[in-house]
């Protein structure tokens, strides 16, 4: 085909690799990779949608439990999940997925054309944490804002369909409900590769009266909950000011851009990922575990936390705890290897699942280490599911029972 600038392009699915498109543009051949086919645990070939380029760690065979973790105790905690109420204060997002096939190169410009096959929407960001908590059996009070648009309606209707109380979600006129739309190219029977993500959100500040109303609703929810989960994606609904005004039994934090701004707000535990803690201190951890431990201890102190869990993608988790009241020394940092496969299907929203399970476990009486182990099992399960997904209480229970059987 001829383009307007006189360039020529021919294209075909590469005979050598069905996951690639071979094109000739202006006489030069180029192969566009649509991602390697990665077989999952069920032998299906799926491509990880988001791998974030994290370092790989030595694969730890078998389960993730160490000898210090009592699986019967973890099972009891999971059984207690439905007795607890969690308030979620945060940025609700609608995750969109537009998928289709790439068949040819455009005549208008040297770009690939995605022939759309499917559009799907999922609860994302803080809404994903809510969704996970509901599927774990908890009662949930979401506190946040959406716009008066179709996406806001979808979010609220999805919550309602799951029996969630939406009375603390404000619909703000003229505001855009945050959306993150991924465009996925592939073939139904082979690969799927993210080629573009388009974000849409309001750039204006939340008006002061709305902020006050949000703070009031957050205070009200916090008083009635066993824990408050703060999910700050930098979109304005979760702020250090709102958190400072809460009276809560415990507050956990996942903040994408400003974890350290929550110092002195009453947060007791946080679950940053490794790059968030690196960004907070303008330092790179690389493969240096000592550096990670130094940053973890520092964040524990700076934020006045009793517990910090750093999620490290395929490298598992690092758990930092403050010294208990009756001891002078804090326990050393613990490193938990991932549960299950290190070849994830889709890691979208895994951090939301982690903080949901971690918070609910703390509310149910878990120690920091027990809560981290439960969150680690859930993280390992959720990355084997496509799209933004949840882990159910039954799935967590089954994973723990399988682990207990394997250890006998
Ligand atoms: N590549 C992987 N292999 C196996 N497990 C993974 C992988 N990536 C993530 N996980 C699981 O998911 C958990 C959370 O992942 P991660 O550290 O990527 O969080 P995150 O970056 O905060 O996620 P999010 O993008 O949702 O905010 C990990 O602790 C681990 O249990
Ligand atoms: Mg995260």
Which residue of the set 70, 95, 352, 397 is catalytic? 352
Closest by alpha carbon to 64, among 389, 383, 386, 394? 383
Domains and their CATH numbers in the chain: 34-407 (3.40.1190.20)
The residue whose C-alpha atom lies closest to atom 21 belonging to ligand 1 is 273
Distance in angstroms (rounded) separating the CA atoms of residues 270 and 7: 53
Q: Please give the distance, rounded to the nearest whole angstrom, from the Cα atom of residue 149 to the centre of ligand 1.
A: 31
* Ligand 1 midpoint to CA 267 (Å): 22
Q: Report the atom number in ligand 1 closest to the C-alpha of 341.
A: 4
Task: Measure 228 CA to ligand 2 centroid, in angstroms.
Answer: 17
383 CB under 6 A from ligand 1?
A: yes
333 lines ligand 1 (CB under 6 A): no
Q: Is 352 a catalytic residue?
A: yes
Taking the model in full, what pTM does it have? 0.85
Q: Is the CB of 355 under 6 A from ligand 1?
A: no
Pocket of ligand 1 contains residue 342 by CB under 6 Å? yes
The span from the CA of 195 to the CA of 226, in Å, is 41
Whether residue 317 has its Cβ less than 6 Å from ligand 1: yes
Per-residue pLDDT tens for 369-407?
Answer: 999 999 999 999 999 999 999 999 999 999 999 999 998
CA atoms of 300 and 293, how far apart (whole Å): 10
Per-residue pLDDT of the chain (408 residues; tens, 9 = 90+): 334 333 333 344 333 333 344 434 343 444 433 333 333 333 333 223 233 333 333 333 345 556 678 999 999 999 999 999 999 999 999 999 999 998 899 999 999 999 999 999 999 999 999 999 999 999 999 999 999 999 999 999 999 999 999 999 999 999 999 999 999 998 767 678 999 999 999 999 999 999 999 999 999 999 999 999 999 999 999 999 999 999 999 999 999 999 999 999 999 999 999 999 999 999 999 999 999 999 999 999 999 999 999 999 999 999 999 988 888 898 999 999 999 999 999 999 999 999 999 999 999 999 999 999 999 999 999 999 999 999 999 999 999 999 999 988
């Amino acid at each position: 085909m001829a383009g307007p600038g006189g360039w020529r392009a021919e294209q075909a699915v590469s005979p050598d690799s069905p996951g690639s498109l071979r094109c000739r543009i202006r006489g030069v051949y180029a192969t566009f990779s649509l991602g390697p086919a990665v077989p999952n645990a069920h032998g299906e070939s799926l491509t990880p949608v988001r791998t974030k380029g994290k370092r790989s760690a030595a694969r730890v065979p078998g389960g993730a439990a160490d000898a210090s973790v009592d699986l019967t105790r973890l099972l009891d905690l999971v059984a207690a999940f439905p007795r607890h109420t969690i308030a979620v204060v945060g940025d609700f997002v609608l995750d969109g997925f537009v998928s289709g096939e790439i068949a040819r190169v455009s005549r208008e410009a040297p770009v690939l054309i995605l022939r759309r096959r499917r559009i799907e929407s999922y609860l994302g960001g803080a809404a994903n944490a809510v969704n996970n908590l509901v599927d774990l059996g908890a009662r949930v009070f979401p506190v946040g804002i959406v716009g008066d648009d179709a996406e806001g309606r979808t979010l609220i209707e999805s919550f309602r369909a799951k029996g969630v109380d939406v009375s603390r979600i404000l619909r703000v006129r003229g505001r855009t409900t945050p959306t993150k739309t991924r465009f996925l190219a592939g073939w139904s029977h082979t690969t799927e590769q993210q080629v573009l993500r388009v974000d849409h959100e309001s750039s204006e500040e939340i008006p002061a009266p709305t902020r006050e109303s949000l703070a009031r609703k957050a205070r009200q929810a916090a008083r009635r909950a066993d824990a408050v989960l703060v999910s700050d994606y930098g979109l304005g609904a979760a702020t250090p000011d709102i958190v400072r005004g809460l009276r809560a039994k415990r507050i956990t934090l996942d903040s994408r851009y400003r974890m350290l701004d929550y110092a002195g707000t009453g947060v007791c535990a946080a679950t940053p990922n490794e790059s968030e803690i690196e960004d907070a201190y303008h330092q790179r951890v690389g493969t240096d575990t000592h550096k990670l431990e130094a940053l973890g201890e520092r964040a524990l102190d700076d934020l006045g936390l009793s517990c910090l869990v750093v999620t490290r993608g395929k490298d598992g988790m690092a758990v930092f705890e403050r010294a208990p009241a009756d001891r002078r020394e804090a326990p050393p940092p613990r490193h938990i290897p991932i549960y299950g496969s290190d070849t994830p299907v889709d890691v979208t929203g895994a951090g939301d699942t982690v903080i949901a399970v971690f918070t609910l476990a703390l509310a149910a009486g878990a120690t920091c280490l027990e809560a981290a182990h439960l969150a680690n099992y859930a993280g390992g399960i959720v990355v084997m599911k496509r799209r933004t997904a949840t882990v159910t209480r039954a799935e967590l229970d089954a994973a723990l029972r399988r682990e207990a059987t394997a250890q006998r």
